[in-house]
Structure 1
Amino acid sequence: MVHADLQYPEGAAADWTISQDWDRYSAADHAMWDALFERQARMLPDRVVPEFMDGLDMLRMTRPGIPNFDELSERLMKATGWQVVAVPGLVPDAVFFEHLANRRFVAGRFIRTPSEIDYLQEPDIFHDVFGHVPLLAHPVFADYMQAYGEGGLRAARLGAIDYLARLYWYTVEFGLIRQGEGLKLYGAGIVSSFGEAVFALDDPSPNRIGFDLKRLMRTKYRIDDYQQNYFVIDSFEDLLRQTVETDFGPIYAELEHQSDIEIDTILPEDVVYSRGTQAYARARSASSTGEGSFI
Structure 2
Amino acid sequence: MHLSDLPPGQRDDWTIDQQWDRYTPEQHQVWATLFERQTKLLEGRACDEFLAGMRALPIAPDKIPDFRQLSAVLKQHTGWEVVAVPGLVPDEVFFEHLANRRFPAGQFIREASQLDYLQEPDVFHDVFGHVPLLMNPIIADYIQAYGVGGLRAKEKGVLDLLARVYWYTVEFGLVEQKDGLRLYGAGIVSSYTESIFALDDPSPNRVRFDLPRVMQTDYRIDDFQETYFVIRHLDELLQLAHTDFAPLYEQVAQRPVLQPGTILPQDQLVHRGIGTYHNAKR
Common fold: TM-score over 0.5: yes
Aligned amino acid, residue 282 of structure 1? N
1:254 is the counterpart of 2:251 = yes
- Residue 263 (str. 1) matches residue 241 (str. 2): no
Q: CA deviation at 1:145?
A: 0.7
CA distance in 2, matches of 1:99, 1:150: 9
Aligned twin of 1:223:
221
Q: Please give the per-residue CA displacement for 1:196-219, whole angstroms capped at 9, x wherever unaligned.
A: 000000000000000000000000
1: CA distance, partners of 2:8 / 2:58: 33
Q: Look up the equivalent residue of 1:58 and give its one-letter code.
A: A
Q: Give CA-to-partner distance per residue, 1:127-180, whole Å, 9 cap, x none.
A: 000000000001111111111111111111111110011001000000000111
What is the total number of aligned residue pairs between the two structures? Answer: 278
TM-score, with length taken from structure 1: 0.92
| Deviation for aligned residue 1:101 | 0.5
Q: Which moved more, 1:62-71 or 1:40-49?
A: 62-71
- The residue matched to 1:156 in structure 2 has which SS? helix
Alignment of 1:270-289 (within 5 A): 270-285=267-282
Aligned residue in 1 for 2:240: 242
Residue deviations 1:105-137 (CA, integer Å, cap 9, x gap): 000011111110111111110000000000000
Q: Could you tell me which residue of structure 1 aligns to residue 135 of structure 2? A: 137
Equivalent AA in structure 1 for residue 104 of structure 2: V
1:238 partner amino acid: E
**Runs of 4+ in structure 1 over 6 Å off:** none
Q: Is the 8 A contact 1:175 1:186 kept in 2?
A: yes
Secondary structure of 2:235's aligned partner: helix
Is the CA contact (8 Å cut-off) linking 2:100 and 2:144 kept in structure 1? Answer: yes
Change (3 A) 1:148 1:214: same
Q: 98, 117, 120: which is aligned to 1:119?
A: 117
Instruction: Please report the TM-score for the alignment, with normalisation by the length of structure 2.
Output: 0.96
Q: For residues 40-84 of structure 1, give each alpha carbon's deviation from its aligned partner in whole angstroms, at most 9, with x where no partner exists.
A: 000101000011111111112145200000111001111110000
- Alpha-carbon displacement from aligned partner over 1:175-196 (angstroms, at most 9, x marks no partner): 0001115210000000000000
Secondary structure class of the residue paired with 2:18: coil
For the residue of structure 1 that corresponds to 2:266, the secondary structure is coil
Q: Give the drift of 1:256.
A: 1.7
1:257 and 1:110 map into 2 onto residues whose CA distance is 41
Taking structure 1 as reference, are residues 56 and 181 closer, same or farther at Cα in structure 2, changes over 3 Å only? closer
How many percent of aligned residue pairs carry the same amino acid? 58
Report if aligned partners of 2:58, 2:69 keep a CA contact under 8 Å in 1: no
Per the TM alignment, residue 243 of structure 1 is displaced from its structure 2 partner at its CA by: 2.6
Indicate the residue corresponding to 1:151 in structure 2.
149
| 1:100 corresponding residue in structure 2 | 98
In 2: Cα distance, 1:122 partner to 1:217 partner: 23
Q: CA RMSD in A?
A: 1.2
The residue type paired with residue 269 of structure 1 is Q
For structure 1, the 5+ residue unaligned runs are: 1-6, 286-295
1: CA distance, partners of 2:240 / 2:72: 30
Q: Distance in 2 between matches of 1:284 and 1:8?
A: 41
- Which residues in structure 2 correspond to 1:1-295 (within 5 Å)? 9-244=7-242, 246-285=243-282
- Alignment partner of 2:206: what SS? strand
In 2, are the aligned partners of 1:29 and 1:111 still within 8 Å (CA)?
yes
1:10 Cα offset (Å): 4.7
- Distance in 1 (CA, whole Å) between partners of 2:122 and 2:254 is 37
Partners of 2:141 and 2:241 within 8 A in 1: no
1:11, distance to aligned residue in structure 2 (A): 3.3
Rate the CA distance shift 1:174–1:192 in 2: closer, same or farther, 3 A: same
1:222-259: CA deviation from partner (whole Å, max 9, x where unpaired): 10000000000111112211331x21111111122111
